Chain A
Amino acid sequence: MSLQEELQGPPPAKLVVEHVSKWFQQKRQTVHALDDVSLEVAEGEFIVIVGPSGCGKSTLLDIIAGLEKPDKGRVMADNQPVLHPGRHRLVMFQESALFPWLNAFGNVMFGLKLKPGLRNSERREVAKFFLHLVGLKKFMQANVHELSGGMKQRVALARALAPNPRVLLMDEPFAALDAMTREQLYGDIQRIWEKRRKTIIFVTHNVREAACLADRVVIMSPTPGRIREVFEVSLPRPRDFNSIEIAEHASKLTAALKEYGAHAAATGS
């Protein structure tokens, strides 16, 4: 594989979630986290999963990543069942989860070193390329604690993109950031997605964020976690977070969330 091909990346993956259910055993009770969840994600699609806390959206993401095993059902990635975590589906967490004993460059190299078939000089080139892509050219040698929250998440994004995963799983990656930084990152993530065409599954509880980023928005409701509705967002890109169209879509999503939330409360399920 040449460096050029490596930077172009493999085709994005198709992802199928088939009737997945999950229970968690706790001390006093069993929590039904996911109930018969099915979802098909096309190649290169940007899916955002929205729901209140406790709706199992993060659990679903963990199952797709292979970090958790479903009790029923399965996840297929490119017609292969997902059994373990693997570098074809990389996760970006809410906290950056960067390793404090490595600098920014070292963190991006970590995943690359686990990828076979590359020479070390090529790995360094790739790491530099992605740190440039997220706009951190000048901060390659910076220690993790010297970076701001937004910069940390940029490094985490570079780390997740560098080994060229076919699916990028993002678990509320911008939730801990301030509004200004977040809006900047919405722009960046759209620009990068246009360029890299990954399949992205993005979990959030922020409806505006969902409307701004998604091709399709999946609405989930809690106890047990279920998929309630799927919205298409067919606005042209790049989208402006503060535009009226986004606000309109967001208010539709909010209405749906309220309805299912109220429904769940009324039936006491």
Chain B
Amino acid sequence: MRRTLLAILFFVALVAIWSALVRANIWSPILLPAPGQVAQYLAHAFQDGTLLTAAGVTLRRLLMGYAIGLTIGLPLGLLTASSKFVEDTIGVMALGLQTLPSVCWVPLALLWFGQTEGAMLFVVIMGTVWSVVIATDTGVRTIPPIYARAARTMGSKPLHKWIYVILPASLPFLVSGMKQGWAFAWRSLMAAEIYVTILTGFGLGHLLHYGRELNAMDQVIGIMLVIIFIGLLADKTLFSPWERFLHRRWGTGRT
């Protein structure tokens, strides 16, 4: 209760400082709109449906790309951790590609797929897969070898060992890998939406882009807030419960 109150107080204070800065009239109101103006824009965009439609379009792309990225990334990470050959080939490639900022995939995606949904999806997947591979690989490698030894003495065969020992043992790392993948997917998609205009759907990134084109600072800041809010929400609802469960079981971190 006390913690919630303090958090609310903190954000109220932030808005108050913002509003004070606007009143001080240091910058042009075109560059720094008042909080009320931004709220007004958001309310308006919410009412006429643009905001919800755009968020829907963006989330659909994000979830699809993320799901595909995970489906490819998790097994690949397990493979690179267990086979020297895959480690030396795909593992090195993943490490290299992971260092490539996901915006760098945009020109290639545009040339290959044109201004289509496919281009969006491709950028998101490329942004997700490699970081998931690396996180999963690291996770499996940090499992104490004694777990596998103990399982083997109890008669665990390779397949059984993978399903009942290696996978659950690497769960904390898989979850942090998934979380990282989510962050990368989110970033890639925003980059793609800001750079690529396509007719099949206007996402949040497009709204942000047009906010800049129209010099509508209230829209730019409003959409940025929405993007931050969605990121926070995903973290709190998708990942935090998992992490709490793992911390309780493993006895790591704060409980």
Contacts and interface: CB of A to CB of B under 8 A. Distances in A.
Interface string A132-157: 00000000000111100000000000
Shortest beta-carbon contacts, A-B, top 9: A145-B251, A111-B154, A97-B150, A87-B155, A101-B168, A114-B155, A91-B153, A85-B153, A97-B146
A111 B169 contact: no
Nearest to B152: A85
16 contacts: A67-B153, A85-B153, A87-B153, A87-B154, A91-B149, A93-B146, A97-B149, A99-B147, A100-B249, A100-B250, A100-B251, A101-B168, A101-B249, A110-B164, A146-B251, A163-B154
Contacts of A227: none
Contacts of A67: 149, 152-153
Contact of A90 (B144, B153, B168, B169): B153
B160 interface: yes
A109 to B, nearest CB: 11
A242 B115 CA distance: 82
Given A99-B169, A100-B250, A115 B146 contact: no
B120 to A, nearest CB: 37
Interface size class of chain A, counting residues whose CB lies under 8 Å from the partner chain = 20 to 34
A111 B154 CA distance: 5
Contacts of B150: 91, 93, 97, 99
Interface in B131-149: 144, 146-147, 149
A166 interface: no
A127 B195 CA distance: 61
A95 interface: yes
Interface string A78-93: 0000000111011101
A97 B148 CA distance: 9
Nearest to B251: A145
A143 B248 CA distance: 8
Contacts of A85: 152-153, 155
A22 to B, nearest CB: 17
A67 B150 CA distance: 10
Contact of B250 (A66, A90, A91, A145): A145
Nearest to A112: B154
Nearest to A145: B251
Interface string B31-63: 000000000000000000000000000000000
B165 interface: yes
Interface in A100-118: 100-102, 110-111, 114-115
Interface string B169-209: 10100000000000000000000000000000000000000
A65 interface: yes
A101 B146 contact: no
A143 B251 contact: yes
A87 B147 CA distance: 15
Nearest to B247: A145
A101 B169 contact: yes
B116 interface: no
B156 interface: yes
Interface string B156-168: 1000100011001
Q: Which of A65, A87, A101, A146 has the most CB of B within 10 A?
A: A101
